[in-house]
Amino acid sequence: MAGQDNTQGIPVPEGSADIIDTDYTIGQDNIEGQLGPFGFDIHNPVFIVSGLTIVAFVFYALALPDQAGAVFGWLRPWLTSTFDWFFLGAANVFVLFCLFLIVSPWGSVRLGGKEAAPDYSYMGWFAMLFAAGMGIGLMFFGVLEPVYHMAISEPLGVPSPIGEDGAIIPENVEAARKMGLAATIYHWGLHPWAIYAVVALALALFTFNKGLPLTIRSAFYPIFGEAIWGWVGHVIDILAVFATLFGLATSLGFGAQQANAGLEHVFGIPNNITVQVLLITAITAVALGSVLRGLDGGVKVLSEINMGIAALLLVFVLLAGPTATIVADFFSGLGAYAAGILPLSNPVGRADTGYMQGWTAFYWAWWISWSPFVGMFIARVSRGRTVREFIICVLIIPSLVCVLWMAVFGGVAIDQVLTNPAASSVKTYVIDSYVPELSLFAMLEGLPLATITSVIGIILVVVFFVTSSDSGSLVIDTITAGGKVDAPLPQRVFWCTFEGAVAIVLLVGGGLGALQAMVISTGLPFTVVLLLMCWAILRGLMSEAR
């Protein structure tokens, strides 16, 4: 059976029938594809089905933009209001599952086998997983979200400290300030990183320890057995491609809007769809160059550069802003998050539906849609770590970094709003007129060297944009090539190009609302995939620990 193709064209690895009861003996050498026209690896239907579907989607959105825009406009609110309980409940399961694995005996299992050593230092490892997982999002939402939740969304019924006349209501300030940070940290803390950790652990375990291909279907052998080499596996991988592509397109849309807003703010370049399309095109071209250089030569270098620049900007804002207040915000926000995580995680009977549906349900769908991309990327760079070390580092340390980022950027913005609301540009662009892409630059306006730091902010957005695009291209390329990490060059070019194309047509067809609608629609079925993946991980660890 080894090395032979089944009826669907997927090579069936040797020894796969005994996957749970014995050690896996198969390896990447057994996965042999066949090159088709233009050098594409079409040894299974995943590339053909997902590629043709994406091409058809792009042409539909371009040919019928009004109809597409109407569909996108309806889709997001319907999905978030109908399935909010499902998204919240599933995310809670992922957090509890990860915390369980940390304290379980299976935490000592080493990814790659007992003698495996890590491929990257902690610094390089953290830089790659963090840049890929949260980059553009932190830049876009780091100022916007704490201020918005403090003043407008009123999570868990905490009233706004800003009255209808614009005056500050002193008795509401302390509770609203804490809740603004806590409600933001909730979206960037344990829950999203637990989602990423589940996918990354599954891929690392079944690839490095069991010898299966580096693709999503491999995690489901304990559940579906030989069926993963047929259409069951094809469907799982196709869903992963769609989820990843639209999750990335949403991030690219956010990045393009913020970069364009920054260019207008600093240099007077018009802020419109045309400029944003040009930005996506140019940055996709840069990402393509990074993709061609590969993981170590492109993604790793860009990630480390970007994290260095981000750290410098973080330190500057910390020192230039009200430092003592920021430090206090870090601890008070963390405490409020710990105190509020259970009611914020409650999936039923909530009165704060604007926060729960408009923010949390969308975020969980977005993180889930990103999970194949971030999970596979983290898995590729995590060989040699124990399960316990892996989960602690992937789950807890990045959460603390996100808390720090929100406390610094969001804390300074909140302080500007509450200290002098009449002069606060943040209040103007977040609370009064809601221009979210300008929120970061509005906060920097209130600090010294605003022009220089705004330029640095634009550079960060662009480079985060590139690292997300090239990392995602490598991941989609790997999935559609059946788990190969060295798929043909034309295939990498195809996926990198179409990531940009999807972001462009969605922006043109319906703006960020269209991007968000597609994220939720692809994140919904993939949530079921992730829930099944938890059970598959347990079965894989049981066989590994014997």
Indicate the residue type of 263: L
Residue bearing the bigger pLDDT, 440 or 306:
440
CA pair distance 188, 499, nearest whole angstrom: 24
Residue 299: what pLDDT?
59
Tell me 330's DSSP state.
Answer: H
pLDDT score of 39 more than 50: no
Asked if pLDDT for residue 26 goes beyond 50, the answer is: no
d(CA 365, CA 80): 9
Structure tokens at 371: 């999970």
What is the DSSP code string of 428-457? IIIIIS--GGGHHHHHHHTSSSHHHHHHHH
122-148 helix and 301-320 helix, angle to the nearest 10 degrees:
50
pLDDT at 94: 97
What's the length of the chain?
Answer: 546
Give the pLDDT confidence score for residue 501 in this predicted structure.
Answer: 81
| Statement: residue 2 has pLDDT above 80 | no
pLDDT at 294 over 90: no
| Gap between the Cα atoms of 442 and 395, Å rounded | 31
Q: Which two tokens stand for residue 158?
A: 């905490």
Per-residue H/E/C for 263-320: HHHHHCCCCCHHHHHHHHHHHHHHHHHHHHHHHHHHHHHHHHHHHHHHHHHHHHHHHH
Give the C-alpha distances (Å, rounded to integers) separating 166 from 28, 61, 156, 197, 346. 63, 42, 22, 43, 32
pLDDT at res. 18: 40
Model pLDDT, residue 74? 80
Phi–psi pair at 162, nearest 5 degrees: -115, 120
Domains of the chain, earliest start first: 33-545 (1.10.4160)
d(CA 471, CA 295): 8
CA distances from 370 to 134, 251, 345 (A): 10, 10, 20
Give the residue-averaged pLDDT of 348-365: 91
pLDDT at 291 over 70: no
Q: Which distant-in-sequence residues (6+ apart) come within 8 Å of 66 by Cβ?
A: none
Structure tokens given for 282: 């140019």
The arithmetic mean of pLDDT across residues 253-273, rounded, is 88
CA distance 171 to 155: 17
Q: Decide if pLDDT at 40 tops 90.
A: no
The two three-digit tokens of residue 213, written as one number: 């291909």
Q: For 340-352, what is the mean pLDDT?
A: 93
Instruction: Sort 199 into a burial class: Cβ within 10 Å, 0-12 / 13-18 / 19+.
Output: buried
Per-residue pLDDT, averaged over 309-336, amounts to: 91
The pLDDT tens digits for 451-482 are: 999 999 998 888 877 777 777 777 787 787 77
Q: What percent of the chain has pLDDT over 90?
A: 37
Q: If you average pLDDT over residues 331-340, what whole number do you get? A: 92
Indicate if the pLDDT at residue 14 is higher than 70: no
Q: How many CB atoms lie under 10 A from the CB of residue 351?
A: 10
Evaluate whether 287 touches 466 at the Cβ level (below 8 Å).
Answer: yes
pLDDT in tens, 178-204: 999 999 999 999 999 999 999 999 999
Task: Give the residue with greater pLDDT, 306 vs 536.
Answer: 536
Q: Please report the pLDDT score of residue 132 as a whole number.
A: 52
pLDDT 10s digits, 82-125: 999 999 999 999 999 999 999 999 999 999 888 888 887 777 77
How far is CA 226 from each of CA 237, 304, 386, 494, rounded to the nearest angstrom? 15, 40, 28, 30
- Between CA 364 and CA 198 the distance in angstroms is 14
d(CA 322, CA 320): 7
Compute the distance between CA of residue 9 and CA of residue 543 in angstroms, rounded to an integer.
29
The answer, yes or no, to whether residue 499 has pLDDT greater than 70, is yes
Helix axes 411-419, 323-345, angle to 10 degrees: 110
At 303 the pLDDT is: 67
The highest-confidence range among 247-251, 429-433, 472-476, 512-516, by mean pLDDT, is 429-433
| Residue 226 CB burial class (10 angstroms; 0-12, 13-18, ≥19) | middle
| Residue 188: per-residue pLDDT | 92
Is 68 in a helix, a strand, or coil?
Answer: helix
* Residue 42: band (very low, low, confident or very high) from pLDDT cuts 50, 70, 90: low
Q: Can you tell me the mean pLDDT for 306-334?
A: 90
CB–CB of 508/336 below 8 Å? no
Mean pLDDT of the chain: 82
